Amino acid sequence: MAGPLRALVCEDSLTIRKYLVGVLEAHGVEVVGEAGDGLQAVEMCKQLRPDVVTMDMILPGLSGLAATEQIMAYSPTPILIVSASVNRGEMFQTYDALAAGAVDVFDKVRADEASVGWAERFVAAVRMTARIKVITHPRARLDAGRSMVRSVSAAAGGGEQVDLIAIGASTGGPAALVDILKGLPGDFAIPILIVLHISEIFSFAFAEWLNTLSPIPVRYARDGEGVPEPGKAQVILAPAGRHLVVEGGKLRLRDTPERHSCRPSIDVLFDSLAAQRGLRAMLCLLTGMGKDGATGLLAARQAGMKTVAQDEATSVIFGMPGEAVRLGAAEMVLPLFEIAPLLRDLASSSSKRVAGAAS
């Protein structure tokens, strides 16, 4: 973009707002507006057209969540949530904002935190967020695409039995996961493992939040539990800060080094699945920055497993799925709104085969 990065800062605390403005300006970011509440942020976004918005969640009048929804609906702009939320209700609002189109979430500066280290991370997050090309509220974009959704045929799904599904996602992942899970029935027969990149400070209630939106029960993985068997609907997430692997018929949580600067890493899970000979699995790599998951998806495809990458048009960031496509790791490249129908077809096919074998 030509010229300095232009930011709008929305924060109700004058002290914190001035601090954020000072940090951004000291690092060459032009702050074009300061909002003390959500309504001001919405109006300023329409008038000033900033490159990026930093958004507090707890605001007088119009909340940060409502402001995010209105901005994404009427003047789409990359939004970085800057939050100190630590209780369940406030954390749910943060997740809702991510599902509504906010790009990422960043922890608000604390009094005991070294300001220089925090400031550098904050500015880097703002610059990264500003690079995201948002068009409109992701729900509107997906709903429009659904009018053209084509049937996922047995040729695409293979008509084969699948015993396990694994999904990896990063930036834009919360909204994508909600979209997929809402498209599945509560009695969905294939267990699902998920790795999502989300910082530990904002992760503690994510499975609980996703559980409120998903027709299928959602929880975090427990170290040493058995790999779920087909037939019982459940979604199991890797907890933040720990790798999730499948090993010896069990789910294991590992504290081994980060991969691609990530723990949990999608590649770590996908590689462990690729090593399970005879496992019939479907692996899906969704929106996200970087390369995590691409080589693991390739290993799974080479092991004979089904692999899917989200397409560029419906990805918030095409980094991870794009790398998988470049490597030839994706058997199918699908828009987000076609992934749930594909999984439903696979579950139906698997159920019919199990029923046939039992008769």
Residues recognised as catalytic: 170, 197, 292
Strand 243-247 to strand 250-254: parallel, antiparallel, or no bridges (unpaired)?
A: antiparallel
**Cα 273 off chain centre by:** 21
- The CA-based diameter of the chain, rounded to the nearest angstrom, is 72
**Which distant-in-sequence residues (6+ apart) come within 8 Å of 134 by Cβ?**
72, 76, 77, 78, 101, 103, 316
SS3 108: coil
CA atoms of 318 and 131, how far apart (whole Å): 12
Helices (H) and strands (E) in the chain, counts: 13, 14
* Residue 282 vs residues 97, 161, 230: alpha-carbon distances, Å: 29, 10, 13
* Residue 292 vs residues 92, 118, 138, 198: alpha-carbon distances, Å: 26, 25, 23, 13
Report helix angle 38-48 to 64-74, nearest 10.
20
Neighbours of 357 (CB within 10 A): 8
Q: Which value, in Å, is the radius of gyration of the alpha carbons in the chain?
A: 21
CA atoms of 92 and 210, how far apart (whole Å): 9
Q: Name 196's bridge partners.
A: 169
- By CB atoms closer than 10 A (0-12, 13-18, 19+), residue 346 is buried
CA atoms of 2 and 118, how far apart (whole Å): 27
